[in-house]
Structure 1
Amino acid sequence: MKRFLRLAPFALLLPAVASASVVWKGDFETGNTSQWDREQSVSSSRLQVVSSPVRQGRYALKSIVRQGDDPINASGNRNELLYLSHEPSGSEYFYKWSTLFPSSFPRSSKWQIFTQWHHTGLNGSPPLEFYIVDDQMRLRAGGSSGKIVYTAPLKRGQWNDFVMHVKWSSDPKVGFVELYHNGKLAMPKVKVATQFSGQRNYLKLGLYRDASIAPEGVVFHDGFTVATKLEDVMPPVVATPAPAPTPTPEPTTPATGTPAPVVTAPGEAPASEQPAPIAQTPSVPGDGSPGTGGIIPEDPMLAGMTPAAGCGASSTGGTPLLVAAALAVVALLGRRKQAPAPVRARRSRMPRR
């Protein structure tokens, strides 16, 4: 029985854990890249976890690529992190992340990939990739001969918040992609093949670009989260407050349009000279205000002490207390004057010695 009671709190947590829709986070809040499975970089300095700029939390990823960075002896230059998600065919997920392109990000007519879901095969373009060409963001599905399903102008110096909803399938009648950009639905569901037949995908995040691009490229990524429900990756919509009511104008006289005069009672000061009303709140026992004894219930040294009702004198209760005190003094003096008489009577009956 004791063992069951010790385990009971953990049993209560099981339903919450089982129903959670967040399946993985790569948001760098560990202060390093340990959430990710591996990296492809020429140096640890090319994939830095930084504290500024960040989109959420305390940390973000800074990915740097210079011409000649080729850690895996393949085409192009890259420094990327990998998460071996290996989504099975028919699975459906929401992916959330944010990417910042600083003002120094180079413009080029060549491709620059910043997020991709690569296939388990070794060759060819991935079935789903986000990249930049000529200052235009593009989302393409189906590899090099696939379909560009979304485009948007590149805006430097500000965070791009992405939420992508994907159903993974090599069947274009089953698979789809849906995209939210900066909190708004940017692309409704598009039916398209999101996998190559017989293969699975894995995530790559960082920067991968054509080898002919010479200037240094830098991008920042933050907050990567994978979930099975939209509400766990999309911020709630904040309701717009209702507008303030329009104040009622002062009454005016029909003839001149000037404010109507304010009538005061005989002997009363004009309204402009009268003091403003003072907002008053009732004293609550224990709130430390006058009339309660100054006791604060939260103070453990005063626990259990409650001030007696009416223990404090108010501006209207002081006079009755003084009258009662005076009557008590008079009564006491009267008793003291009466006391000697009986004593003298007892002494007169006592025999003399």
Structure 2
Amino acid sequence: MPGLSWAGVVWKGDFETGDLGQYSSYQWMSADRLQVVQSPVLQGRYALKATVRQGDDPINSSGNRNELVYKGRELEGSEYYYRWQVMFAPDFPSVKTWQVFTQWHHNGCCGSPPVEFFVYGEELRLTLTDSATPWKTKLERGVWQDFIFHVKWSSDPSVGFVELWHNGQRVLPRYMHATMYPGDGIYLKLGLYRSDTVQPVGVVYHDGFVQATRLDDVLPPAPAPAPDAGTPPGGGSSSPPSEEPPPVGSSSPWPDGSPPSTFPEEPSRFGCSSAGGPLWAVALLGLGGLLRRVRRR
């Protein structure tokens, strides 16, 4: 699956390069906080292990974090499907505060990101602008969870919408809501970002991130048909054994040994300063929403 290329795929951040080179930049305290690993993985040979310790504040902003950054193609009126997998470590902290594992952050100043997936206590939540939370579910640790997120990016609540599949089930029909701030851009952040009040170490794994223009292009290929009962053993074609994966890690996680510089300090979360099997689809539901600039936890 990682080696395939589909017409509708516009970007992959699945770590199958064996490093972090698919991403634009990073915000980390040290390289051990964002590691490409070979176990555990769900698809392919590699995944990301994101670790946050209390005090990890690489950009001198609110909260503690270690995150990858990808500057993508999300513009006003664009529409994409995103698929990725997440697993929370068995000892992932249970705290009644925010722990963001995937977010689409705005470029401008102030407030929370327009779209964020996070853990709150024992729940996974999706929250949009104006603190709208159209979906939440129970947190499960130690198992891979599959997300497909369909978004129309717009600051107009009558145009923008989201739609969500979780573990092969369509859990959020099309939900009309603003997904951007007016006149602002958007970019992806993947890893772990949480309140600086959280004391225990937090570990979350990410795998298989892909962005595409069609639902079909983020779904896995259909399984091959079973061989005919009359085919003699060894009569069909077979693929050669896969090669041993290259070693993970080096002095630099970027292919050329020179990671891009980190992004400028991002706006404070609460004020101004500078987060399967066969999937099925289809129904519609429309609601409205308003924009917001300040998180209400």
Query: Superposed, which structure 2 residues align to 1:3-22 within 5 Å?
Result: 20-22=7-9
Give matches, 1:42-61, under 5 Å: 42-61=29-48
Post-superposition Cα deviations, 1:249-283, rounded to whole Å, max 9, x if no partner, equal xxxxxxxxxxxxxxxxxxxxxxxxxxxxxxxx9xx
Structure 1: 5+ residue runs without aligned partners?
1-16, 242-280, 282-286, 288-353
* Structure 2 counterpart of 1:156, one-letter code: R
1:123 match: 110
2:15 is matched by which residue type in structure 1? F
Structure 1 residue 86 displacement after superposition = 4.5
Tell me if structure 2 keeps the 8 A contact 1:116–1:204.
Answer: yes
Kindly indicate whether residue 52 of structure 2 is the aligned counterpart of residue 65 of structure 1: yes
Using structure 1 for the length normalisation, give the TM-score.
0.61
Which structure carries more helix by proportion?
A: 1
Shift of 1:236: 5.7
| Residue in structure 2 matched with residue 176 of structure 1 by the alignment | 161
Partner of 1:218: 203
Written as runs of structure 1 = structure 2, the 5 A alignment for 1:43-122 is 43-122=30-109
Residue number in structure 1 paired with 2:184: 199
| Identity of matched residues, % | 56
CA distance in 2, matches of 1:62, 1:33: 11
2:25 aligns with 38
Task: Answer whether contact 1:183 1:234 (CA < 8 A) is retained.
Answer: no
Aligned residues: 223
Name the amino acid aligned to 2:155: S
Structure 1 residue 146, shift from structure 2 partner: 2.4
Sort the Cα spacing of 1:40 and 1:233 in 2 relative to 1 into closer, same or farther, 3 A. same
Give the Cα separation in 2 of the matches to 1:26 and 1:135. 28
1:122 to partner: Cα distance? 3.2
**Partners of 2:220 and 2:173 in 1: CA distance:** 18
Distance 1:236 1:36 in 2: 25
Structure 1 position 209 matched with structure 2 position 167? no
Return the letter of the residue paired with 2:104. Answer: W
Separation of aligned partners in 1, 2:98 and 2:167: 23
Select the residue among 12, 21, 26 that pairs with 2:13: 26
Match of 2:291 in 1: none
CA distance in 2, matches of 1:54, 1:101: 12
Larger RCO: 1 or 2 (CA < 8 Å, sep 6+): 2
CA RMSD of aligned residues (A): 2.0
Q: Secondary structure at the match of 2:72?
A: strand
Question: 1:49-104 CA distances to partner (integer Å, 9 max, x unpaired)?
Answer: 00000010000000000000000000000000000114111100000000000111
Measured after TM superposition, the shift of residue 234 of structure 1 is: 2.1
The 4+ residue runs of structure 1 with deviation greater than 4 A are: 236-239
Shift of 1:124: 1.1
Report the CA distance between 1:235 and its aligned residue: 3.1
Pairwise CA distance, 1:147: 0.5
Could you say what secondary structure the match of 2:71 adopts?
strand
Distance (whole Å) between structure 2 residues aligned to residue 154 and residue 238 of structure 1: 30
Q: C-alpha distance in 2, partners of 1:106/1:146?
A: 23
Say which SS state the counterpart of residue 148 (structure 1) adopts. coil
Q: 2:242 — aligned with what? A: none
Q: TM-score, normalised on structure 2?
A: 0.72
Matched, 1:148 2:133: yes
C-alpha distance in 2, partners of 1:121/1:213?
A: 27
Listed as ranges, the gaps of 5+ residues in structure 2 are 236-297
Q: CA deviation at 1:237?
A: 7.0
What is the distance in 1 between the residues matched to 2:217 and 2:207? 16
Q: What secondary structure does 1:85 align onto?
A: coil
Shift of 1:207: 0.1
Q: Distance in 1 between matches of 2:126 and 2:221?
A: 25
SS class of match (1:87): coil
Counterpart of 1:235, as a letter, is P
Q: Deviations over 1:317-341 (max 9, x none)?
A: xxxxxxxxxxxxxxxxxxxxxxxxx
* Alpha-carbon offset, residue 135 of structure 1: 1.0
